[in-house]
Amino acid sequence: MGLCRASGAPLTIGQPDANPATRPLRRLPQALGSTDQSMRKVAIALAIGVVVTLALLGLTFAADAAGHPGVARALFWHNGVLQSLVPLGNIGTATHPVYEGSPLNFFAFCASIPLGFVIYGVAAYVALKFVRHGT
């Protein structure tokens, strides 16, 4: 009988508390359940991001091999963004420039793959959130 409610009234053992703000332990299983559900949603979104990125990478190589470099650049656009940030060395003349790639271009290509995982994973997470809530 020594415990008191927020209102000051005595609380006996086994008596339910009517104020939901003073019973945080009863909300704990619900909060943990929503955490498991959100972690599941993150895992699904990450898997979708990996699959989409790898599929686009394969389609990019196929389009380039078929003689469609513009389609290849459009499919793997985030690689183009990273490649544009890498400086190129001109080994030609000022009137006839010839730009040579460097190891930085290879690193930019390698970095574009996990960047695709993140971009398409975040897009999938947002899409899953809207599909779940129906808004």
**Residue 131 pLDDT:** 81
d(CA 52, CA 39): 20
DSSP letter string, 56-86: HHHHHHHHHHTT-HHHHHHHTHHHHHHHHTS
pLDDT score at 5: 52
Best CA proximity match to 44, nearest among 121, 130, 117: 121
Q: How far apart are CA 69 and CA 75, in angstroms?
A: 10
**pTM of the complete model beyond 0.85:** no
**Partners of residue 99 on adjacent β-strands:** 90
User: Taking a C-beta distance cutoff of 8 angstroms, is the pair 17, 4 a contact?
Assistant: no
For 86, other C-beta atoms within 10 Å of its C-beta total: 15
Task: Return the SS3 of 94.
Answer: coil
Please report, in tens digits, the pLDDT of each residue of the chain (135 residues total).
455 555 565 555 555 555 555 555 555 445 555 677 888 899 999 999 999 999 999 999 999 999 999 999 999 999 999 999 998 888 888 888 888 888 899 999 999 999 999 999 999 999 998 886 655
Interatomic CA distance for residues 54 and 120, integer angstroms:
11
Q: What is the pLDDT of residue 92?
A: 84
- The pLDDT, as a whole number, for residue 28 is 47
pLDDT at 11: 55
